[in-house]
Amino acid sequence: IEMDEGRHQIEIKVYKQKMKHLLCEHQNTITELKAESFVSTEVLQNEQEQLENELHKGMRAIMVETQQLDNENLFKELEMKYNCVAIEIESKSEYEDKMKMQQQKLDNMRKKKTSEREDQWNWYIAGLIEDHNRLFKKTDEILSLIQQDIDNIRLFKVFFATIVIVTHYFDSS
């Protein structure tokens, strides 16, 4: 943009110099025409009109050229702004994509940890259930043995009671 502005300034200076040059030429022509008094006024007037037309054409051409340069500068400026916005949008899109990927990674890590913990708890609970079942089975076995012992003790009591009665009966007879 600075180069374009510098070029634009140079073109304006060139334009001013051309204008001065054209004005000088115009002045010189008028002076020559006055000096040459033997030339007819109609010829002088036609030449002056022609010079003025050329001057106006030159001025219009310079103005058109200046307008074109201004349009080019405006186009370049808009193009630069567009590029900046496009880069910003692209960067934002990349950032959002990275954020989504990070969020997905975090979600996957969380799910993995949760799954690992669930597996650990399931193994732990399965172990506890197995231990409890083993303990209940042993308890049932012990209770069964205790019941057998109680039954045996009752039998022995009955047996001893019978022996005592029989012994007592034989001793008394």
pLDDT at 37: 62
pLDDT at 171: 79
Looking at residue 170, its amino acid is F
Interatomic CA distance for residues 75 and 98, integer angstroms: 34
| Residue 103: other Cβ atoms inside 10 A | 10
**Is the confidence at residue 161, as pLDDT, over 70?**
yes
Comparison of pLDDT for 9 and 118, the residue scoring more? 118
**Is the confidence at residue 89, as pLDDT, over 70?**
yes
Q: Which pairs with CB-CB distance under 8 Å and at least 24 residues apart come from 2-8? A: 4/69, 4/72, 4/73, 4/76, 5/73, 7/69, 8/69, 8/70, 8/73
Supply the mean pLDDT for the chain.
88
- Give DSSP secondary structure letters for 56-98: HHHHHHHHHHHHHHHHHHHHHHHHHHHHHHHHHHHHHHHHHHH
**Is the confidence at residue 30, as pLDDT, over 80?**
no
pLDDT at 44: 64
Measured CA angle at 160 (ends 159, 166), to 5 deg: 90
Helix (H, G, I), strand (E, B) or coil at 86: helix
Interatomic CA distance for residues 169 and 29, integer angstroms: 178
pLDDT digits (tens, 9 = 90+) for 109-119: 999 999 999 99
Interatomic CA distance for residues 149 and 139, integer angstroms: 15
Residues 6+ apart with CB under 8 A from 47: 29, 33
Q: Which of 68-72, 85-89, 109-113, 145-149 has the lowest mean pLDDT?
A: 68-72
**pTM score over 0.85:** no
pLDDT digits (tens, 9 = 90+) for 41-61: 666 678 889 988 998 998 898
Interatomic CA distance for residues 87 and 90, integer angstroms: 5
pLDDT at 25: 86
Over range 53-79, report the average pLDDT.
88
Interatomic CA distance for residues 53 and 59, integer angstroms: 10
Q: Which pairs with CB-CB distance under 8 Å and at least 24 residues apart come from 117-123? A: none
**Is the confidence at residue 152, as pLDDT, over 90?**
yes
Over range 130-158, report the average pLDDT.
95
